[in-house]
Amino acid sequence: MSDIDIFADEFDGQVSYEGALAEWVMGKCQTWRDHYESNYSQKHDEYMRLFRNKWSAEDSERGSERSKLIAPALAQAVESNVAEVEEATFGRGKIFDVRDDIADEQTEDMVFLRKKLHEEFHHARVRSSMAEVLVNAAVYGTGIAEITIE
């Protein structure tokens, strides 16, 4: 076996990790962070500055340039595209639907599950979180969301 030892408990099917798992994960995280810092961080900072209309000397193209005006056209274009995607995603009111199996005679279980999931999505503020993901996708070119299930 590798330096990550995996032990499966025969009685209840639980799997536990011992050894260097945390070190392995943190090593992968550090490797990714170093790659991001060296390849993407500077460009992403520039993209966010331009989107938020913040002036920086780094964005000047000529040394003689004295203007600090940043037109809001980029932010307007991003926000209008994000609004269109949001409308296409959330415009019908419900993000998803849960259908019951035709052979299932109990229809109340799926009705309850559908209502419960919509309620949980509302309490977790999924729509506003997805709006943030869509803005990041429009600005950076990639939208990533993490789903935590408890």
State the Cα–Cα distance between residues 85 and 79, nearest whole angstrom.
10
- Asked whether residue 42 is domain-assigned, the answer is no
pLDDT at 83: 92
Q: Cα–chain-centroid distance for residue 70?
A: 28
State the Cα–Cα distance between residues 41 and 47, nearest whole angstrom.
10
- Asked whether residue 16 is domain-assigned, the answer is no
- Asked whether residue 12 is domain-assigned, the answer is no
pLDDT at 2: 47
Does the pLDDT at position 105 exceed 80? Answer: no
> Tens digit of pLDDT for each residue in 3-13?
444 444 444 54
For residue 119, the enclosing domain spans 68-150
- pLDDT higher at 107 or 75: 75
Give the chain as a 3 state SS string: CCCEEEEECCCCCCEEEEECHHHHHHHHHHHHHHHHHHHCHHHHHHHHHHHCCCCCHHHCCCCCCCCCCCCCHHHHHHHHHHHHHHHHHHCCCCCCCCCCCCCCCCCHHHHHHHHHHHHHHHHCCHHHHHHHHHHHHHHHCCCCCCCCCC
- Asked whether residue 104 is domain-assigned, the answer is yes
- Asked whether residue 128 is domain-assigned, the answer is yes
> Tens digit of pLDDT for each residue in 8-43?
444 454 545 555 677 777 788 888 889 989 998 888
> By percentage, how much of the chain surpasses pLDDT 90?
7
Total domains in the chain come to 1
| pLDDT class of 84 with cuts at 50, 70, 90 | very high
| pLDDT class of 54 with cuts at 50, 70, 90 | confident
- Asked whether residue 129 is domain-assigned, the answer is yes
**pTM of the full predicted structure?**
0.60
Burial class (CB in 10 A: 0-12, 13-18, 19+), 38: exposed
